[in-house]
Amino acid sequence: MENLSDISDMYKGQIIYYYSKFYFIQDKLKAYTVKFNQYVNNNFDYTEDTYDSSGNNSEDSENNNENSENNNENSENNNKTKKTNKENGKCLINTYNSGVLVITSHKLKTHFRDKTSSNKKPDKEYEYKTDNDNKSIKIKDNKMNLMKKYYKKLALKCHPDRVDDIKLNFYFIESQTAMKERKLTYLLFLVYKANISLFFENDNEVSFIQSELEIMEKNIKDLTNKIEWKWCSINNNGLKNSLINNYALGKKLKRKVKKAT
């Protein structure tokens, strides 16, 4: 228990660090995006290549019409073959990752039905589940059981019926979002922000947290790799110009010529 309590303290610091960093970058990026767009609109304009696309559009529309006509013909042929297969009593087999679903004519479908009631829908005997599917279901159930435990702790302290505090009530409202999105680390982040002490009881919690923190780290990298973030956070004017020029080249923009005063 002492080792798990030490591990819980370690992951507490990591969860608070990652989520605080993520929301800081996300808010900063909004301001950077406005600043970047203003600079682009004031200094760049669209080239003739971006406007000169009417001829290609007309050809594309004609090709799309031809493709739609061909698709309609194919669908009609498929409907005809389905009707003939039903009349002849043939089996239509659709394969899935988890098994094989056999769709037959009405006479053969009665094999899957309950003998006591003829109007009853077919049983799901033809649906197969692999061992991997069962394992994933158990993992999701274990994760939700953990989240329900922490959600109850948070509700006891932060529910609006129990306490009249704007910040604590906000943590409770956000915990509902965490439960809906199945984010254990975000729920733990809210628990820590509400100053609720806890420690992990098994190793499953550690594996869940590690996998979610890896996703959070990737999300942070995705935000910092955006050109708006790079352009606004760089202090070197040469690097700034190269970034904006490459962006303009990819978007087919040309720099505006300033009129002499």
Which residues have C-beta within 8 Å of that of residue 248, sequence separation ≥ 6? Answer: 40, 44, 254, 255
Q: How far apart are CA 160 and CA 51, in angstroms?
A: 56
Q: Full-prediction pTM beyond 0.75?
A: no
CA dist., res. 166 & res. 194, Å (int):
12
Q: Which residue has the tokens 């698709």?
A: 71
pLDDT, residue 164, reads 94
Model confidence band, residue 186 (pLDDT cutoffs 50, 70, 90)? very high
pLDDT in tens, 141-183: 788 988 999 999 999 999 999 999 999 999 999 999 999 999 9
Over residues 83-123, the pLDDT tens digits come to: 544 444 444 333 334 444 444 444 333 334 444 444 544 44
Query: What size, in residues, is the chain?
Result: 261
* Residue 174 near residue 4, CB atoms below 8 Å: no
Residue with tokens 């309609």: 72
Distance of alpha carbon 177 from the chain centroid: 14
Per-residue pLDDT of 223-238, as tens digits, reads 999 999 999 999 999 9
Is the pLDDT at 126 greater than 70? The verdict is no
Question: What's residue 125's pLDDT?
Answer: 39
Give ∠ CA 228-232-234 in degrees, rounded to 5: 120
Three-class SS state of 93: strand
pLDDT digits (tens, 9 = 90+) for 194-215: 999 887 777 778 889 999 999 9
Cα dihedral 175, 180, 181, 182 in deg (nearest 10): 80
SS3 annotation, the chain: CHHHHHHHHHHHHHHHHHHHHHHHHHHHHHHHHHHHHHHHHHHEEECHHHHCCHHHHHHHHHHHHHHHHHHHHHHHHHHHHHHHHHHHCCCEEEECCCCEEEECCHHHHHHHCCCCCCCCCCCHHHCCCCHHHHHHHHHHHHHHHHHHHHHHHHHHHHCCCCCCCHHHHHHHHHHHHHHHHCCHHHHHHHHHHCCCCCCCCCHHHHHHHHHHHHHHHHHHHHHHCCHHHHHHHCCCHHHHHHHHHHHHHHCCEEECCCCCC
